[in-house]
Structure 1
Amino acid sequence: MSESKDTGGDVDKEKQSSESQGGERESWGGKLDFILSCVGYAVGLGNVWRFPYLCYKNGGGAFLIPYGISVIFMGIPLFMLEVSVGQFMSIGGLGVWKLCPIFKGVGWAAAIVACWLNVYYIVVIAWALYYLFNSFTTNLPWARCDNEWNDENCITGKETAAIMRNQSSANKSLNLVPAVQQYWYRKVLDESSGIDEPGILRWELAITLFIAWLLCYFCIWKGVKQTGKVVYFTALFPYVVLTVLLVRGLTLDGALDGLEFFLKPNMTKLLEPNVWMDAGSQVFFSYGVALGSLIALGSYNHYNNNCYRDAMIVGCINSCTSLFAGCVIFSNLGYMAWYQGKNVSDVAQEGPGLLFQVYPEAVTLMPLSQVWSVMFFFMVLLLGLDSQFCTVEGFITAMVDEYPRYLRKYRPLFIGLVCLLSYVVGTSCISQGGIYMFTLLDTYSASGYSLLWLAFFETVSISWVFGANNFISCLEHMIGYRPHIWWKICWFGLTPAMIGCIFIFTLLKYASPKYGDTYKYPGWAEIMGWCMALSSMMVIPLYAFFKTLFAPGNSLREKLRHVTTPTPEIQARLNEILNGAVPSDAANGMSSDSTPKAGHAETAA
């Protein structure tokens, strides 16, 4: 066993027991635990607030063509690659790079991106909790104009409908602001004039953010066996809520207009390159690849689990959920547009605007608005929560597997420290200037450039350096039959080509970040944003450079051969697989210190 210097080990790894490593590594308690965890992780807020908007903006039903192509060529192949790599190695996102040591920087980069994402994604959950708590009132606070944060320009949703139906020029000239908009900007965010004015901490959001982190902690602190039970509720109950909201939405006036606006195909849009780029990016982000979380989830599978089947199931569920959520949202937006006498395009938004302005205003126009508000924000809470704790789990698994002797037996404490530090850093997003920091983090740190960069090198390292044929053979050894050649074609050429095209197109379209329609970030904030992005992106080439520089060998060719060859224990397993033998440790995961994993002993037996 080699590569001990990467893990800090300096003793004979073959002689170490699982106890000396801090205890046995867990595995999923049941077959559905893994599938539901992947569903909960992949199906998140992007399915609700981003896909419906992109669909109607990019040609309605016609958008499903480039979206479906992106799912087939990029989404499911990447999902399959990460899950199967984790299952084959039975280790987190750092240890798997024993397959190709020079690209271990991809694992570290994914850990950095996960840290960034953990800091700001959970803020959306804190906002949802705030709205959820305030939904348990006699009258929804964003449905009225008699609150302390309202001014004389405030107007309720019902008053807006009356004005829109009155075509007098006097009413048209009024400069009125919806009550729900004032509630969001002046009460919830209490936003300052810019990122250079952070202002005071919003104590109500500090409390809800703390509650969100507590929920996240208790979902994962006892390990994947407990997490596998939690997801039975967090992953499945949102579908109950979505179904109820859809049934309710379809009974409303204007619902069919909203659905027509959402799905009516405009085939001419397919000639626009932006449509194809939006489809590719949506698939990429909604599947949650390149963060190490899918590798971590797959690593808790038994060696012979049919990850091929699981990837297809989760991929279909993810894409169908996007369509399902779009129908829910636009049936209600159609009612809102009908009620206020507007076009659906006038009320449709994406992102936080949809979750915390448009839909809250829509429920104020319905009977029993508190009930629908509670159901909607509880659904948002669950959709965000399982994506959040799976991302945290991915980071925790990578670190614990990398340093098992120091972290495994202290796993609950380590998780608590990670959650606490993330909470402290995340308070920068809940001050009066927090929304500007949130937008900056969302633009640079864990989306767009960094994730595309990571996914490209991840795919290339496995399919080009370790070898697509080798990996297909490993996959065949796990699941018992050889996957279709389609997977090799995707991993070797089509998937990295699509990722590269999206990355280049994203760079060519680059524009300085803005918040809303008017606020432009100062130059120092833009530089800070690029530093966030580069904090993960530069790890990959820097790690590869230094790994090669200090590798044994007298020539560059010898050094490169050393760092692009799997570690001896992985090479031995591969040789046995290629020779048709059953490796002695085929069903045993390799820890970071190369000790056989006892968690799958029953499979080996």
Structure 2
Amino acid sequence: MQKSIAYIIPQGFYDDDRNAFHFRFAKPPEDVTYEDEIDGGSTEDEADDDDYLKPRRQHWSNKLQFVLACIGYSVGLGSIWRFPYLCYKSGGAVFLIPYAIIMVFIGGPMLYMELAVGQFTGRGPIGALGHLCPLFKGTGLGSVVISFLLSTYYSVIIAYGVYYFFTSFRAKIPWEGCGHTWNTRYCWMPNSHTNQSKPRYTQSPAEEFYDRKVLQISSGIEDFLGMRWDLVACLIFAWILVYFAIWKSIKSSAKVRYFTATFPFVIIVILLIKSLTLEGADRGMRYFWRPKFELLLDAKVWVNAASQTFNSMGCAFGSMICFASYNKYNNNILQDTIAVWLVNGITSLVVGVFAFATIGNIATEQGTSIEDVIDDGPGLIFVVYPQAMAKMPASQLWAVFFFFMLICLALNSQFAIVEVVVTSIQDGFPGWIKKHLMGHEILVLIICIVSLLCGIPCVTKGGIYFFQLIDHYAATISIMYLAFFEVIAITWFYGAFKLCRNVKTMTGRHPGMYIKFCWLIATPLMIFALWVFLIIDYEPPTYNNGRYHYPAWAIAIGWVIASLSIFCIPIYMMVVFLNAEGSSFMEKLKNSIRSDLLDKCPECSQMDCECVLKENEASPMLVVPKPQEIIKGSTRLYENAQNPQGDGSVQKQDEDPFPSERNDSMTPSEYDNLHEGRNETK
């Protein structure tokens, strides 16, 4: 059997030997084969220098790998770090009301939309948005920029976790008591002051270990000089873990996720049970479940709920589009959406219970209030949780388990956001990468090194201030802006009903009315309203529960960080519009927003036809000759190309080149013979 190379494009592939275009919902001919499968289905063909012809995409070996990748990202740092603090900040259990509403009307529909877009186009966020609506391709670029920014400081959390993990292998964990070289006279332990409340201006051993030993924190962002070499070493180690987990793309990261995405759930359940048995846990539960309904009128509570939804579900970060692009074309994305949505919501609730039970225990032992225990930023997971574990029997064992779980959760998030950057660059410049970088592994290495260097400021003595600054402007302000434009680009400009037809093409089922309502009305309007509230109620970032205020120049840097992703949209809009075909403004605008994906069946010119709905049972459709040259500047992919007969005429690609000789009973081989004979005659 002759082996031929097939180049995959969003809705089909070119078969070089047949010189024809196969639409993606059609079954390929039996004699069209690919390179031998690697690791249960992952294949990769030669890349073409032109972005229109991309190498065949790898696929997940099985559905479980994809689901674990999505769950691993959603149940990452956002659940164990952000959610408990936002619950405390937003009124306890009352926060669950806006959080649930936003999960229903924004989180779930956006997740479904992104999975559909990624699976249908087979591209990362830049390529996917560029194909659906070229004018909004900058939205995908903005998502990649945010993911890169997150990768620079999420790795710092891994570095902290690695530091604590190895420190836990001691006869006595160092944050268990005072008397160390880093402790001050303000170090205070409950056991040494029986029947006393915690004095003012004192710190627990866990607080002093975190501030004075781990961070060696300076007085402010102005005083950031001085490297924390221990943390630098841990940061390098963290990036080594990330590199070797994703250096073979999904072939390597999928195997790692079998452990990193499942082991944390075991530890979370164990810690939940243990925390509920601690003294004072009921006090924390009462604080958590005592709602403050008046806070529902505070716009900040709703903004916090939206921020948590985006960060936990991965919406608008590009990760879910990236993951879905490796799916098989007929994968049931509705089941995946429901699974990820439910697991994320349940895990957030479980982590909230565990966190407040632990906080209640600490507040009871110290004789202080709940508010005095909770710390903002990473302090919740590196001060509060370790402090509670220090009081448990076999505290070293609990600490090792907890920080190993934290490393796994952080790695899941890091894998996802780095893969977004890698996939987007790989999609955009496949030929250049293969020619100059000698493959995927070198590209991943370069990205990891650059991200490592960009994260160095976060492991200086003033690094925690940089950490909070990037997190505030990149993970909250920018993400809502990008989410709004992503939704309207896909559901308004490309078309919600067209996307529904695409979903039906892939799965055989139309999305329901609830999804259509959310895509068209609820989701974009709610995101826009929340973003407006965020801007109106804008407050500069602070640290240490409002005790430290950033200087003006640092806030300016924060807005520059936010602008890196925000300005991607208007800048790219101008570039696409100026390069669009047409002599008038309206012609250029129309060509700028027109999708380059074919939305009609080339066999019968219908949108919902039996050819599409029969899924893989449709006979091969060899109706389009391969173009010899793609005219640059065209906004519709494969629409205009030089006539393969060489007579110089231009022919639309969705037309049969030999309509008079073609009949429905003709086999692909007969049609090919006719095609070749006609060429010889010419």
TM-score by length of 1: 0.89
Asked if structure 1 preserves the Cα contact closer than 8 Å seen for 2:119 and 2:325, the reply is: yes
Q: In the alignment, which residue of structure 1 is the partner of 2:493? A: 465
In structure 2, give the amino acid aligned to 1:238.
P
Who is 1:76 aligned against? 108
1:125-157 CA distance string (max 9 Å, x none): 111111111111111111222221112222235
**Contact 1:576–1:583 (Cα < 8 Å) also in 2:** no
Q: Which structure would you say has the larger RCO, counting Cα contacts within 8 Å and 6 or more residues apart?
A: 1
1-side partners of 2:609 and 2:439: how far apart? 40
Moved over 4 A (4+): 14-17, 568-577, 583-588
CA deviations over 1:103-133 (Å, ceiling 9, x no partner): 1111111111111111111101111111111
Is structure 2 residue 447 aligned with structure 1 residue 418? yes
> Partner letter of residue 338 of structure 1?
T
Residue in structure 2 matched with residue 42 of structure 1 by the alignment: 74
Per the TM alignment, residue 570 of structure 1 is displaced from its structure 2 partner at its CA by 6.2
- Quickly say closer, same or farther: Cα 1:236–1:139, change in 2 above 3 A: same
Match of 1:179 among 202, 205, 209: 205
What is the SS of the residue equivalent to 1:447? helix
Q: Give the counterpart of 1:385 among 402, 405, 411.
A: 411
Distance 2:305 2:478 in 1: 18
Matched, 1:19 2:46: yes
Deviates more, 1:505-514 or 1:34-43: 505-514
Distance in 2 separating the partners of 1:574 and 1:281 = 45
- The 3 A distance-change label for structure 1 pair 152 and 313 is same
Equivalent position of 1:474 in the other structure: 502
* Cα separation, 1, equivalents of 2:446 and 2:212: 33
Q: Does the C-alpha gap of structure 1 residues 571 and 101 become closer, same or farther in structure 2, counting only changes over 3 Å?
A: farther
- Over 3 Å counting, the alpha-carbon distance change for 1:422 and 1:57 in structure 2 is closer
User: Which residue type is aligned with residue 121 of structure 1?
Assistant: Y
Alignment match of 1:249 (pick from 275, 278, 296): 275
Question: In structure 1, what residue type is equivalent to 2:539?
Answer: A
State the partner residue of 1:166. Answer: 196
How many pairs were matched up? 572
Q: CA deviation at 1:586?
A: 8.4
Alpha-carbon spacing, 1:539–1:272, altered in 2? closer, same or farther (3 Å): closer
Greater mean deviation of Cα atoms: 218-227 or 384-393: 218-227
Task: Find the counterpart in structure 1 of residue 137 from structure 2.
Answer: 104
Partner in structure 1 of residue 661 of structure 2: none
Is contact 1:333–1:344 with CA below 8 Å preserved after alignment?
Answer: yes
1:86 corresponds to which of 98, 104, 118: 118
AA aligned to 1:580 is C
Aligned CA distance change for structure 1 residues 45 and 87 (closer, same or farther; 3 Å): same
**Is 1:28 paired with 2:60?**
yes
> Conserved in 2, the CA contact under 8 Å of 1:71 and 1:283?
yes
Would you tell me which structure has more helix in proportion to its own residues? 1
* Amino acid paired to 1:19: E
The 1-side partners of 2:397 and 2:524 are apart by: 46
Equivalent runs, 1:523-562 vs 2, <5 Å: 523-562=552-591
In the alignment, the residues of structure 1 paired with residue 588 and residue 293 of structure 2 have an alpha-carbon distance, to the nearest angstrom, of: 53
Deviation larger for 103-112 or 150-159: 150-159
Instruction: Tell me how far 1:564 sits from its aligned partner.
Output: 0.8
Pick aligned residue for 2:342 from 316, 323, 332:
316
Partner of 1:601: none
Per-residue deviation, residues 470-525 of structure 1 (Å, max 9, x unmatched):
11111111111111011111111111111111111111111233222333222222
How many Å apart are 1:54 and its aligned residue?
Answer: 2.5
Residues 434, 348 of structure 1: alpha-carbon distance in 2 compared, 3 angstrom cutoff: closer
Pair 1:259-2:285 in alignment? yes
- Using the alignment, how far apart are the partners of 2:326 and 2:521 within structure 1? 29
Partner secondary structure for residue 291 of structure 1: coil
1:229 corresponds to which of 231, 255, 262: 255
The 1-side partners of 2:272 and 2:515 are apart by 36
- Opposite residue 504 of structure 2, the aligned amino acid is E
Alpha-carbon distance in structure 2 between the residues aligned to 1:511 and 1:273: 13
The answer to whether 1:134 aligns with 2:167 is yes
Q: Deviations over 1:263-307 (max 9, x none)?
A: 233434334333333222222221111121111100001111000
- Pairwise CA RMSD: 2.6
Asked whether the 8 Å contact 2:601–2:609 carries over to 1, the reply is no
1:308 and 1:575 map into 2 onto residues whose CA distance is 28
**Inter-CA distance 126–286: structure 2 relative to 1 (3 Å threshold):** same
Match of 1:10 in 2: none
1:58 to 90, 97, 104: 90
Please say if residues 126 and 208 of structure 1, whose CA atoms lie closer than 8 Å, have aligned partners that are also in contact. yes
Q: Give the whole-Å Cα distance in 1 for the aligned partners of 2:352 and 2:373.
A: 14
Mapped to 2, the partners of 1:258 and 1:573 lie a distance apart of 62
Whether 1:485 and 2:513 are equivalent positions in the alignment is yes
Where in structure 2 are the equivalents of 1:257-336 lying within 5 Å? 257-336=283-362
TM-aligned CA deviation for residue 178 of structure 1: 1.9
> What secondary structure is seen at the aligned counterpart in 1 of 2:439?
helix
Quote the Cα distance in structure 2 between the aligned partners of 1:264 and 1:537.
38
Matched letter for residue 448 of structure 2: C
Compute the displacement of 1:220 (Å): 1.0
Q: Which residue does the alignment assign to 1:603?
A: none
Q: What amino acid sits opposite 2:477 in the alignment?
A: Y
Q: Which shows bigger deviation, 146-155 or 274-283?
A: 274-283
Contact 2:115 2:333 in 1 (8 A): yes
Amino acid across the alignment from 1:476: K
Closer/same/farther in 2, CA of residues 586 and 557 from structure 1, 3 Å limit: farther
Q: Distance in 2 between matches of 1:424 and 1:230?
A: 25
Deviations 1:367-411 (A, max 9, x none): 211111111111111111101111111111111111122235610
Answering whether residue 541 of structure 2 is matched by residue 508 of structure 1, we say: no
The residue type equivalent to 1:365 in the other structure is K
Name the aligned partner's letter for residue 91 of structure 1: R
Query: CA distance change for structure 1 residues 575 and 506 in 2, over 3 Å: closer, same or farther?
Result: farther
For residues 138 and 415 of structure 1, do their structure 2 counterparts lie closer, same or farther at Cα, with a shift above 3 Å needed?
same
Shifted more, 266-275 versus 64-73: the winner is 266-275
Match of 1:153 in 2: 186
Structure 2 unmatched ranges of 5 or more:
1-8, 10-18, 22-33, 35-44, 49-53, 621-629, 631-636, 639-682
Decide whether aligned partners of structure 1 residues 193 and 413 sit closer, same or farther in structure 2, where only a CA change above 3 A counts: same
What's the offset of the Cα at 1:571? Answer: 6.8
Letter of the structure 2 residue corresponding to residue 330 of structure 1: F
- 1:359 corresponds, among 385, 405, 430, to 385
Give the equivalent residue in structure 2 for 1:7: none
| Cα shift at 1:430 | 0.3
Letter in 1 for 2:559: W
Aligned residues of 1:45 and 1:383 also touching (Cα < 8 A): yes
Bigger Cα Rg: 2
Question: Cα gap change, 1:43/1:432 in structure 2, threshold over 3 Å: closer, same or farther?
Answer: same
Question: What residue identity is the alignment partner of 1:556?
Answer: F
Q: Given residue 405 of structure 2, which amino acid in structure 1 is its aligned partner?
A: M
Contact 1:94 1:108 in 2 (8 A): yes
- Where does structure 1 lack aligned partners over 5 or more consecutive residues? 5-13, 596-605
Would you say the 8 A contact 1:55–1:263 is kept in 2? no
- Partner Cα distance (1:485, 1:214) in 2: 46
Provide TM-score, normalisation by structure 2.
Answer: 0.79
Q: Distance in 1 between matches of 2:614 and 2:230?
A: 52
CA distance in 2, matches of 1:107, 1:490: 21
C-alpha distance in 2 between matches for 1:268 and 1:119: 38
Q: Which residue of 1 aligns with 2:479?
A: 451
* SS of residue paired to 1:142: coil
What letter corresponds to residue 413 of structure 2 in structure 1? Answer: S
